[in-house]
Amino acid sequence: MIKNSVLLILLFISSLASVAQENNLENQFNDVFKKSNNYQEYKVVKKVALYSLKQNVLDTITLLEKNMVVSSVEIEEQKETIASLNKELEATKKDLAISKEKEEGIEVVGVITTKSTYNATAFSLIGVLLLTIGILFFKFKNSNSVTKSTKTKLSDTEEELETFRHKTIEKEQQLRRKLQDEINKNKDS
């Protein structure tokens, strides 16, 4: 950051210097033309002024070349910065897409599904479970009533059997007595 700032300051100063130099060169050319003498259609210029002008032009060209180098270095640095920022932007976009997918979905058994699909599946399962519980409850209630009815009938049948048995035993006893009485009568007679 500091390096870029220093380069910007140097570039600004050198551009100001080159503008001043260019203005200075133009003034020097004008000054050389003014101070030169005329000979027919030619201008006669002093060698010292020409050498000085040449040196100033060369210095200006050197300064402009340095400015171009500094500018090209700065452009390359900015290209690198832009490239790295673009890479960061792409990574951020990918992270954002993943975050949105996770936010909009629910992970079930390692699979990310949308909330609406999850809700539909969950409520369907709950509905099926409630229906199954209802059916089982009614079957249990029906079986329970059948069982109670059967127990009541069994109890009634057992009572009837017990009553029948007692009657049968009594009849048998009466028949045995009668038989015994008959046997006894036949023995006596």
In order, the DSSP letters of 124-181 are HHHHHHHHHHHHHHHHHHHHHHHHHHHHHHHHHHHHHHHHHHHHHHHHHHHHHHHHHH
Residues 67 and 82 in one domain: yes
Please give the C-alpha separations between residue 168 and each of 1, 38, 135, 175, 178, in angstroms, as whole numbers. Answer: 119, 170, 48, 10, 15
pLDDT exceeds 80 at position 134: yes
Which range has the worst mean pLDDT, 74-78, 96-100, 109-113, 168-172? 109-113
Q: How confident is the model at residue 48 (pLDDT cuts 50, 70, 90)?
A: confident
Calculate mean pLDDT across residues 29-37. 83
Of 93, 108, 123, the one marking the end of a domain is: 108
Tell me: do 95 and 154 sit in the same domain: no
118, pLDDT greater than 70: yes
Same domain for 122 and 83: no
**Is the per-residue pLDDT at 156 higher than 90?**
yes
Contact between 105 and 116 under an 8 Å Cβ cutoff? The reply is no
pTM greater than 0.85: no
Which of the two residues, 29 and 74, has the higher pLDDT score? 74
Tell me how far CA of residue 181 lies from CA of 105, 146, 187, in angstroms. 99, 51, 10
Of 108, 125, 151, the residue that ends a domain is: 108
Per-residue pLDDT reduced to its tens digit, 96-108: 988 887 787 777 7
* Statement to judge: residues 22 and 77 lie in one domain: yes
Same domain? 27 vs 104:
yes
Q: Which residues contact 34 (CB under 8 A, 6 or more apart)?
A: none
| Per-residue pLDDT at 18 exceeds 70 | no
End residue of a domain, out of 87, 108, 129: 108
The answer on 123 and 91 residing in a single domain is: no
Which residue range(s) make up the domain with 157? 114-189
108 or 144, higher pLDDT: 144
Say whether both 60 and 152 belong to one domain.
no
Mean pLDDT calculated for residue range 119-141: 94
Is 10 in the same domain as 69? yes
Please check whether residues 52 and 131 belong to one and the same domain: no
Q: Are residues 15 and 65 in the same domain?
A: yes
- Do residues 85 and 43 touch, judged by C-beta distance below 8 A? no
Per-residue model confidence (pLDDT) at position 73: 92
Q: Would you place residue 5 in the very low, low, confident or very high pLDDT band (cuts 50, 70, 90)?
A: low
Q: Is 136 a residue whose pLDDT tops 60? A: yes
**Which residues, listed in sequence order, are joined to residue 107 by a DSSP beta bridge?**
112
Overall number of domains in the chain: 2
pLDDT at position 15 over 80: no
